[in-house]
Amino acid sequence: MNKKIQKIINKKNKTKIVCLTAYSKNMAEEVDRYADITLVGDSLGSVLYNFNTTRKVTLTNMLDHSKSVKMGIKKSLMVVDMPFNTYDSNNKALKNAKKIIKDTKCDAVKLEGGKKIIKQVNYLIKNKIPVMGHLGVLPQTIKGKFRSKGKTEREKRTLINDAILLQNSGAFAIVLECIKTSTAKKITEILKIPTIGIGSSVNCDGQVLVTDDLIGLNETKIKFVKKFVNIKKYIKSGVKKFSEDVKLKKYPSKKHSY
């Protein structure tokens, strides 16, 4: 097993896991300093391309951004989302997962779903492709109004069963997105592998956020997002100063001219 993956598994019940997204080398360099896992998420569709669904994200999109991210990573585990319609059969999943790992040199791929995709997960792991799972709200398949998961007993049982299926298949960790606190806690207690929460309470073994959200670069009103810094304030300040200096002929000075 990949040493970085084993290191993540070993954190279970010992220390919280930090997971953040990156879509470019520059952001990856900063995320890599503090994150245990750097995720190239298909969330780049909405964050960078203003797509209204992650279904529009292509394999080419993921490959291009992942290649850039890889250049900025030195220590963290790099995981790449497999985009919509790239793993709807065993052969298709393996072909695309192999391409992602070969072209980007990432450590693992992430797939959304439980029982419905367990055959593909089993097939990938059988063929030595490390897999991270994803349960709860599934952006690639969400229909209608957004709502959290795991509120009813039926949903709770389904999520627990899906989590166990993923663990038994060999998945090394599972993202739990917008799952009711008590259900996320129960899943985390049952599993031997780590859970990475997003909107699923502090009870998970780790947490993930879209980096652009937490630094305030991407404006969002989603409940689970906390803005830890307002980077836009600094961008506006720098751009304003540049504009003023150009108009006042202060820039470029001799120092900045050849």
- In whole angstroms, what is the distance from residue 63 CA to residue 74 CA? 19
Q: Which two tokens stand for residue 55?
A: 């279904």
Whether the CB-CB separation of 196 and 175 falls below 8 Å is answered with yes
Sign of dihedral through CA atoms 63, 67, 68, 69?
Answer: positive
Query: Cα–Cα distance between 109 and 129 in angstroms, integer?
Result: 8
Nearest alpha carbon to residue 174 among 186, 158, 162, 156: 162
Residue 112 falls in the annotated catalytic set: no
Q: How far is the C-alpha of 169 from the C-alpha of 176, rounded, in Å?
A: 17
Find the catalytic residue in 30, 177, 189, 244: 177
Q: Could you give the CA distance from residue 99 to residue 130 in angstroms, rounded to a whole number?
A: 13
Catalytically active residues are: 177
